[in-house]
Every structure is written in structure tokens, then in C-alpha cells.
Amino acid sequence: MERAAVDPAAPLDGRTTPAGDKNIVNSVLKAAKLVELLSAHQPDMSLAELASATEMTKSTTRRLLATLEEAGWVTRVGDGRYKMTIRLFEIAAGIADGIDLRTEALPAMRRLRDAFGETVYLYVLDQGRAVCLERIEGTRPFRIVSLRAGSVTPLTIGAAPTALLAFHEPELLDRAWREAQTLERRPFDSLGQLTALLARIRVEGYSFTVDDVTAGVAAIGAPIHDLYGNTVAALSVAGQREHLDSDQKPAMVAALLEATGEVSRRLGHNSAPHRR
């Protein structure tokens, strides 16, 4: 039985259309919702499932799917079942290629600096080491002079580097551990201690380090993910140990995770299946 028809002018997901705004085409909004559903539910969905999820009639849903199929966005894979074509991912990948990581990260980095007054760093991987791509100076009198944009850091020291290593452990752990043995300052007594830390970072979503790069300095770091779920960078907040390892640490962790989530979304994260 067909479900009761909904108002064709009513937008989905509780979105409201300004009264009399003729620039909004609600059929496009509804088609976009179908694309979102098919992108999130793999490998396919039935006509009935799509109609139920969007609260549209089957006839309306069928017409929209036929239009999306004609445009090359959707394909039928069985009796009344549909899935996305690769077209969406081709477009998304093209957009991702044009995204500049530093540009996308800077607004979130500035908000972190303004909220806590601490120095904020953006790190990326390069040939098995962490490279500081950008630094936003804190507003406190305390200055961290040892880490500048362009600085290269081993992956076993520092909050952002260890966050990067945690999400690239299979391919980078052996090299990182060998390099750690050559360092004057060794924050880990054993490989087991390091791997236990990396496992905890993956569970908690962030890294916290104290004194391992510069004495008296603590840092909190978290990963940034791209369109495919790959860990491509990390943000960290660093400052005096007394400021970070204090009652405000939970608020800083929450703000950092919000910032890395925002940058990840700007890079297209969660818009395509995970692929390492």
C-alpha cells in the first residue's frame, strides 16, 4: 500500500524554506536526500526502503530515482533496488584534489588559539617523519621556540606526530621505533610500551605528551582524515605543562577533537567509504 503523500513543498530533515522563496526547488532537495541515503547505506537500498526513509510516496521516489539514473548518479542492481554509481566518488575526488589542507585548517587553528591562548600546530607526514606545515603562535608570554613551520620531528615524540603514527602503525611502526633508538631523549622504554600508547590513542582519539620534545611543555594532538578516511594530518595544541595538564584539559581535548572533525569534514571525510 502506498504511504500517505507528503506535502511536495515541504523540505526534508526539518529544513525550513523561507515563505515565498521561489529559488528553492524542493524536488532537488529530495533527490539530494536520496543521494545521501544511497551514499551512506552500502551496497544498495530498495525502493520501499528509500521511500520510507525519506517519507515520500513510492511513485515520487521512483520518479526521482529514474531522473538520477538518467543523470548517471544511480543504477539499478536488482528488482526495485538501487545503488550509487562511481560518478559521485569521481566528483568528490576531483574536489578533494583541489583542496588545500593548510587553507582548510587555518580557521579551526585560529579558533583554538583564541579559545585557550596556546600555540597550535598542523603536522603532515613526509617520508616517515612528521613535518610542521603551519604554526599559529599563542597569545601567552610563554613561547615554544624549538618548533617552527618546516620543522621535522620523529613520529615517537610530540602529540601530533604520535597521533599520526597511531593511525599509520602498520606501515610506519618499525621505522619509527628504529629511529627512536637513536634519539637522545627516549620517551619509551620498550616497543610494547609504544604500541600500547598507540592503541590508546586510537581508542581515545587523541594523544597527550609531556616533556618529550621540550622540557616543561605539554601538547594534545589529534588526527585529521581525508575523503577516504586516511589520516593525512594532525593538529596539536602546545603550551606550558601547568596550563595543559590541568582542570581545563578536558575542554581543550573536546575543542581539539571538534576542530579536527571540522577540518576532516572540509576535506570530505564521511562522504565516501573508508579506504586506507
Which residue is associated with the grid cell 524536488? 27
Q: Which CATH superfamily includes the segment(s) 95-266? A: GAF domain (3.30.450.40)
pTM for the whole structure: 0.63
DSSP state of 11: P
* 266 close to 102: Cβ distance less than 8 angstroms: no
Which residue is associated with the grid cell 578516511? 229
What is the assigned CATH class of domain 26-85? mainly alpha
List pLDDT tens digits, range 211-268: 777 777 889 999 999 877 889 899 999 888 888 877 889 999 999 999 999 999 888 7
List pLDDT tens digits, range 100-149: 788 889 999 999 999 999 999 999 888 788 888 889 998 887 766 566 77
Domain boundaries, the chain: 26-85, 95-266
DSSP result, 88-145 = HHHHHHHHHHT--HHHHHHHHHHHHHHHH--EEEEEEEETTEEEEEEEE--SSS----
Separation of alpha carbons 123 and 147, rounded Å? 11
